[in-house]
């Protein structure tokens, strides 16, 4: 009976020692999970979903590839990355069709006011934007836009497009289009040459939109940021916390019982 009690006391002593050591390790994970949990509960307030990640290491880790197509127009203020169009770093357009070209043309906003607007051509649409990046109009095939646009030219307040079936020119409203047979080929708007650094910045802007701080915190909280290993590791941490809770309760019960018996 006495030896059994001594063995039990030794077990409790070792259990307390391991409980204390593991508790210190678990405290770091509890703090980490608490901080990330609070952040995720306030993701809207903290605008976590609107904060893109620009770390190349993280973008590579998530397999987010650079764009295949990078082009610049209008002194590099207009950028095209795949089917996305940017104006001075702001995303203007996410097109379902390939972007053909972009330029600036005068547009009449009233009887005596003319302003410059950006015109962006995809294979099936023309998009008009002001210099604040606001869309003014979107014209598609239902508006008479020629199908299969391959190139874009601007002649004052008129637009000329090249298609597989020939050349078409609009009126000033962009609603009436006619086939033309120019003796000299129009001056098509072509992409501008830029530095390698500008191309890298455009590629980074494209990639970063697909990964936000909210996604990073969520994956770190669940362990998925490290793949299957991270998930299994966080499962092990959860089991550790359960065991610590059970051992803590057991130690407390034994201590309370011993105190009553004394």
Statement to judge: residues 91 and 179 lie in one domain: yes
What would you measure as the largest C-alpha separation in the chain, in angstroms? Answer: 113
Per-residue pLDDT reduced to its tens digit, 31-54: 888 898 899 999 889 999 989 999
Position 57 in a domain: no
Mean pLDDT of 17-34: 76
How many domains does the chain fold into? 2
Which phi-psi region, left, alpha or beta, contains residue 31 (left: φ > 0; alpha: ψ -120 to 50)?
Answer: alpha
Tokens of 245: 């809770």
Domain of 225? Answer: 2-51+214-261
Statement to judge: residues 244 and 176 lie in one domain: no
Statement to judge: residues 119 and 180 lie in one domain: yes
Spell 228-247 as b/e; 16+ CB within 10 A means b. Answer: eeeeeebeebeeebeebeeb
Statement to judge: residues 37 and 110 lie in one domain: no
Going by C-beta distance under 8 Å and a sequence separation of 6 or more, which residues neighbour residue 195?
none
Statement to judge: residues 138 and 180 lie in one domain: yes
Per-residue pLDDT reduced to its tens digit, 148-162: 999 999 988 899 999
Per-residue pLDDT reduced to its tens digit, 159-207: 999 998 999 999 988 889 999 998 888 999 999 999 999 999 999 999 9
Q: What's the distance, CA 86 to chain centroid?
A: 14
Position 171 in a domain: yes
For residue 142, give Cα distances in angstroms to 4, 97, 245. Answer: 90, 16, 67
Indicate whether this model's pTM tops 0.85: no
Statement to judge: residues 124 and 241 lie in one domain: no
Statement to judge: residues 144 and 223 lie in one domain: no
Statement to judge: residues 119 and 194 lie in one domain: yes
Closest CA to 124 of 86, 156, 161, 158: 161
Statement to judge: residues 79 and 172 lie in one domain: yes
Position 60 in a domain: no
């Amino acid at each position: 009976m006495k030896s059994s009690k001594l063995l039990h006391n030794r077990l409790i002593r070792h259990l307390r020692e391991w409980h204390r050591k593991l508790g210190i390790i678990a405290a770091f994970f509890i703090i980490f999970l608490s901080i990330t949990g609070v952040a995720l509960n306030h993701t809207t307030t903290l605008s976590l979903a609107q904060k893109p990640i620009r770390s190349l290491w993280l973008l590579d880790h998530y397999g987010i590839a650079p764009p295949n197509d990078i082009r610049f127009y209008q002194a590099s203020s207009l950028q095209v990355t795949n089917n996305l169009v940017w104006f001075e770093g702001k995303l203007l357009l996410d097109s379902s069709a390939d972007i053909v070209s972009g330029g600036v043309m005068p547009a009449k906003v009233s009887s005596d006011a003319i302003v410059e607007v950006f015109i962006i051509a995809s294979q099936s649409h023309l998009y008009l934007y002001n210099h604040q990046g606001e869309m003014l109009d979107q014209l598609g095939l239902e508006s008479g836009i020629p199908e299969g646009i391959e190139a874009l030219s601007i002649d004052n307040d008129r637009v000329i497009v090249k298609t597989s079936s020939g050349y078409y020119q609009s009126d000033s409203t962009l609603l009436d289009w006619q086939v033309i047979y120019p003796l000299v080929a129009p001056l098509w708007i072509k992409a501008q040459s830029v530095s390698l650094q500008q191309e890298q910045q455009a590629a980074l802007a494209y990639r970063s939109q697909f990964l936000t701080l909210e996604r990073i915190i969520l994956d770190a909280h669940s362990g998925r940021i490290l793949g299957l290993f991270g998930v299994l590791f966080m499962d092990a941490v959860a089991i550790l916390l359960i065991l610590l809770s059970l051992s803590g309760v057991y130690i407390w019960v034994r201590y309370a019982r011993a105190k009553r018996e004394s």
